[in-house]
Chain A
Amino acid sequence: MNTQDKVIAILAEQAILEPSDVSLDNSLDDLGIDSMALVETIFSIEEAFDITVPFNANEPSDSAFDVSTVASIVAAVDKLIAEQV
């Protein structure tokens, strides 16, 4: 699985949806992922990719990790993986 497929699988599991129901332009709101589910999602991403995500629940929109859409999360994960190497 590539980054996109893995991220979508994680989001789908949180949202209790099929991966095919998650599209790249969906927001977390669209998927029904609330603040607690988001914190769990970030944790799952960190575990799946062995990366550290700079995310503070007090300022989700200010974090360096852009969670505005599925596509932005995929891009942010790719960036973190690249930075890590």
Chain B
Amino acid sequence: MTRRVVITGAGTINALGVDVLATNAAMKEGRCGIGPLDIRDVDRLAIQIGGQVRGYDEQAHFNRQQIALYDRFTQFTLLAARQAMAQSGLTFTGELADQSGVILGTSGGGLNTQDENYRAVYEKGKNRVHPFIVPKLMNNAAVSQVSIEWNLRGPSFTVATACASSNHAMGQAFNMVRSGMATVMITGGSESMLCFGGIKAWEGLRVMSKDACRPFSATRNGMVQGEGAGVFVFEEFEHAKARGAEILCEVAGFAMSSDASDIVMPSKQGAARAIAGALKDAKINKEMIGYINAHGTGTAANDKTECAAVADVFGAHADKLMISSTKSMHGHLIGGTGAVELLACIMALRDGVIAPTIGYEEPDPECALDVVPNEARDAQVDVVLSNAFAFGGLNAVIALRKI
């Protein structure tokens, strides 16, 4: 018998809020978390906006020893994990600890730490850096710190597939619990790339917007980066039921594909195979899908390709479902984006509110779907999808179901 997997805890910190409630409230209001970047040397950047976590004081959450080891992406992860753990009510000892692990997505890992320390040795000519730079910047730092803090001793690793990292991580966590390899998996992802080097590299591709992220709008002119984390507790259904846990929703299916075509240009076929694959894995008819949280980056290429893929997979039903991109509000969290976007999916299932695509100004005939423009909408949906299509052509789609 196939085991079922449910979500029993969620946590986040991102440009829209410092927890799930605040983030959901912002999504319901259609509030924009994107604004002027407050980072070092911003005057030398062509792109000066982002979905930054504002007013963040690391010393309010961590002591000096911890800060020496925790890059901003690890800090965000731990803050989100605290919330998710508290909600789940789980503690990990004995056999459960051995059967539970952590799989998180990130693309840049400790990029702020790299940026600061390259600056120290190259720009300032220093010949010495802090002894903990490597354990602070490594991509698996966040996974390991979560494992250490909550005594999670089972399968744990980091997934880095650019913009699909979190979805790939959550898909892996889902399959581990479903297959019996684990009882509980802490999963999701985080990113903190809003530093001089992080933005400068992205500028080079010429796909960033200087003013706003307007997915699906004919007036869209590129993506805007964000930062933050989303962390979830994926738990085997019977285990959650037996302990009377509050179940947020079921993880119904997951699929991934590779375009095997171009390193940056997305492929309709690759995206469509991942979407159709998730439906098949979840054993659900396409007509049951009420909402899709789009990858919706706001670039010319992604949005039209994604809409074409959705139209291909869903046929006539594509005009009946809702599809929105919450990146318009929190920005593109790159390796953490799928995790924060899963919150919009859970909100749709639990609260019956579909997060909007804000900044929508003008229809684009190549994105002629119901993109829930500018205002959140009340709607009852039972099954939802979350899309992620990464640079490198790596696609990951996750399906959630009301329970």
A interface with B by C-beta (< 8 Å) = 35-36, 39, 42-43, 52, 55-59
Contacts and interface: CB of A to CB of B under 8 A. Distances in A.
16 contacts: A35-B265, A39-B204, A39-B205, A39-B206, A42-B206, A55-B206, A56-B206, A56-B207, A56-B210, A56-B222, A57-B205, A57-B207, A58-B220, A58-B222, A58-B299, A58-B300
A57 B206 contact: yes
A32 to B, nearest CB: 16
Interface residues of B, number: 15
A59 B204 CA distance: 15
B221 interface: yes
A59 B221 contact: yes
Interface of B: 46, 204-207, 209-210, 220-222, 264-265, 299-301
Q: Which of A39, A43, A56 has the most CB of B within 10 A?
A: A56
Contacts, number: 31
Contacts of B221: 56, 58-59
A36 B221 CA distance: 17
Leading 10 A-B pairs by shortest Cβ distance = A57-B206, A58-B300, A58-B222, A58-B221, A39-B206, A57-B207, A59-B221, A58-B299, A56-B221, A55-B206
Given A35-B265, A36-B264, A58-B220, A52 B205 contact: no
Contacts of B46: 52
Contacts of A43: 204
A36 B209 CA distance: 17
A57 B300 CA distance: 8
B247 to A, nearest CB: 41
Contacts of B300: 57-59
A55 B300 CA distance: 14
Contacts of B204: 39, 43
Nearest to B298: A58
A56 B220 CA distance: 11
A39 B204 CA distance: 8
B264 A58 contact: no
Nearest to B204: A43
Contact of B207 (A42, A52, A58): A58
A56 B299 CA distance: 10
B300 to A, nearest CB: 4
Given A56-B209, A57-B222, 13 more contacts: A36-B264, A36-B265, A39-B205, A42-B206, A43-B204, A56-B206, A56-B207, A56-B222, A57-B207, A57-B300, A58-B209, A58-B299, A59-B221
